[in-house]
Structure 1
Amino acid sequence: MSRPYSLAHLTVMELTPPAMIQAAAQAGYQGCGLRLLPFSPGGTAYLMNDPALMRETLACLRDTGLCIPDVEIIRIQGPLDVRPYLPFFEAGQKLGARHILVTGEDPDLARLTDSFARLCEACQPYGLTADMEFMPWMAANCIQTTRKIIEDAGQDNGGILVDPIHFLRSASTLDDLRQLPAGMIHYAQICDAPAQGPTDTAGLVQASRHARLLPGEGDIPLKDMMRCYAPDLTISIEIPNTRRRSEAGTLAWITQCLEASKRFAGPAGPAST
């Protein structure tokens, strides 16, 4: 069985959504994940306050046949008011997105769990899941902790997002991944990294945003990880590498990313709708 591949926005963050969609279509992807909200104040994000760009993006989707599996990013850093995110949910729905990337950063795990539950409830009417990506420097720092948050939140549209570089750097194991309920994984990411990496937060963040490797170049057990996923699960290719992309050019780099990913996750299939 074949699976759809989506290009994560972090791989080509400075490309506008129409430019990204066109490049992804040319390289052979079935979808793109789009960042609609910035990771930090003043950070790069698109579409939320630009109706003309939204129209152009929707036209590009119609012309290319690509889909938008996921939109980013909601960071739960403390008490969460879901009301300011309603326009974000509406934009995701307009784009046909199915998943929201969420980070769990509030050190009060009981409050984080409650916030995640309310976020799931708020986005569910828009046809969206909320998928918490664990990162080793956050409160949701591994599979086990994140699974507990999701299960305690008790929402059917709550899920866990596994990024291989964070899997490698966290206290997560293949057994933890194998034991996740199938319905808890709505989509997954792919990349590679060396076994020996940074141990401080600044180094972890730098490597994750600028120096990921193509699948097969590092030490992550990607084939074992991919066996844990449904054969038609969407794989988001998140492989930012500033130096190598600059040397190769954007189209060549994202094509290399796709071809390397297929060797570990299986042949590409039609876009999921």
Structure 2
Amino acid sequence: MDLLAIEHQTVFGLPPVEFVELAAELDCPYIAIGLTGGAFNPHGYEPYSLLDDTSLRRRMVAAMRDTGVTISLGEGFLARPGREIRDEARSLDVMAELGVARINTTSMDSDLNRSFDEFRILAEMAAERGMETTVEFAPSMSVPDLDTALAAVRHVAHPDFRLLIDTMHLARAGHTARELAAVDPTLIGYVQLSDHTIEQRGAVYRDDTTDRMVPGEGELPLLEMLAVMPSDVVIGLEVPMRSRAEAGESTTSRAGRCVRAARELLAQTWPSI
């Protein structure tokens, strides 16, 4: 059973229809999207907005219908100070129109109580549209670690609000596979796989998050992590490789290397699947 997805950040602004076609070319059944291409665009792709361009949405839906690729995760739903998550209703409508299975959230608001309340509102809004919600933690965010993310899940107390585990963030937050194994596996709704060094290399954390390594080429104990993950969740390849893109390596080449490496790791972890 192939549960691999190619994540939005990995393709650095590749337009949606081409993104669907790339996933199909690499035999990946899923992609994760944002409604726009993002700030970093080393290949000079044409900017787009799935929120505003109804024709683009129709063409993307047609491409997904033709290839069988679907959207496993929708990104871009942050709790922020001075902003209300209820204002994301139209973005959620578009995600639902595109058949997105779940959306992801985290927080840049230092007020955790408010963030948790916003997560609850978002989870309810997403569920009304037939979508699940995951919460992601990262040392650079207001949800910095696994314990805080679990506290958010308990606070929201919604069956469709679960954890997103990013392997880089898990390791950089100081967590081990043993700690992850202690988490109820039904609380894990999505996994993002990448590799990196254990210690931060860039001047700021963001530098490292946008310049990751092909799974298996870094220092993270990925086999140990994968061994304690549920085997029935989508594993998204969130492997933006800024240096390689700036050096001229194509999106297809970078994504292809990640897909092949991930399949090798998964074959070692779950050989019967």
Q: TM-score surpassing 0.5?
A: yes
Tell me if the contact between 2:92 and 2:126 (Cα under 8 Å) persists in the aligned partners.
yes
Please show how residues 216-235 of structure 1 align to structure 2 within 5 Å. 216-235=216-235
Q: CA distance change for structure 1 residues 46 and 184 in 2, over 3 Å: closer, same or farther?
A: farther
Counterpart of 2:238 in structure 1 is 238
CA distance in structure 2 between the aligned counterparts of 1:156 and 1:78, rounded to whole angstroms:
26
**Structure 2: where are the runs of 5+ without partners?**
40-46, 269-273
Gaps of 5+ in 1: 268-273
Do residues 141 (structure 1) and 140 (structure 2) align? no
Moved beyond 6 Å, runs of 4+: none
Give CA deviations for 1:145-190 in whole Å, capped at 9, x if unaligned. Answer: 1111111221111111111111121132323311222222111110
Aligned counterpart, 1:270: none
Structure 1 CA distance for aligned equivalents of residues 38 and 22 of structure 2: 23
- Contact 1:36–1:48, Cα closer than 8 Å, also in 2: yes
Displacement of 1:264? 1.6
2:125 maps to 122
Q: What is aligned with 1:192?
A: 195
- The reply to whether residue 49 of structure 1 matches residue 55 of structure 2 is no
Q: Which residue of 1 aligns with 2:89?
A: 86
Report the 3-state secondary structure (helix = DSSP H, G, I; strand = E; otherwise coil) of the residue aligned with 2:28: coil
**Alpha-carbon displacement from aligned partner over 1:208-252 (angstroms, at most 9, x marks no partner):** 11x211111111111111122222211100111123244432212
Instruction: Pick 1 or 2: higher relative contact order, CA cutoff 8 A, min separation 6.
Output: 1
TM-score by length of 2: 0.88
1:96-111 matches, cutoff 5 A: 96-111=99-114
Amino acid at match of 1:118: I
Range 146-155 or range 44-53, more displaced: 44-53
Aligned residue for 1:271? none
CA RMSD across the alignment = 2.0
**Alpha-carbon distance between aligned partners in 2 of 1:142 and 1:31, rounded to the nearest angstrom:** 27
Whether the 8 Å CA contact 1:17–1:46 is kept in 2: the answer is no
Matched position secondary structure for 2:87: helix
Could you tell me the percent identity over the aligned residues?
25
Cα distance in 1 between the residues matched to 2:260 and 2:62: 27
Aligned counterparts, 1:147-166, within 5 A: 147-166=150-169
Q: Identify the residue that residue 31 of structure 1 maps to in structure 2.
A: 30
Matched-pair contact (CA < 8 Å) for 1:80–1:115 = no
Q: Which amino acid aligns with 1:233?
A: V
Shift of 1:193: 0.3
CA distance in 2, matches of 1:35, 1:15: 11
Q: Report the alpha carbon displacement of residue 54 of structure 1 after superposing the two structures with TM.
A: 0.4
Determine helix, strand or coil for the equivalent of 2:163: strand
Amino acid in structure 2 at the alignment position of 1:19:
E
The aligned counterpart of 1:132 is 135
Could you tell me how far apart the structure 2 residues matched to 1:12 and 1:103 are? 21
- Report the TM-score, using the length of structure 1 for normalisation: 0.88
Cα 1:118–1:140, aligned 2, differ >3 Å: closer, same or farther? same
Q: Which string of whole-angstrom CA distances, capped at 9 and with x for unpartnered residues, describes residues 74-125 of structure 1?
A: 1112365333211122111121111111112221221111111111111111
d(CA) in 1 for partners of 2:207, 2:88: 28
SS of the aligned residue for 2:119 comes to: helix
SS at match of 1:239: coil
Determine the structure 2 residue equivalent to 1:254: 255
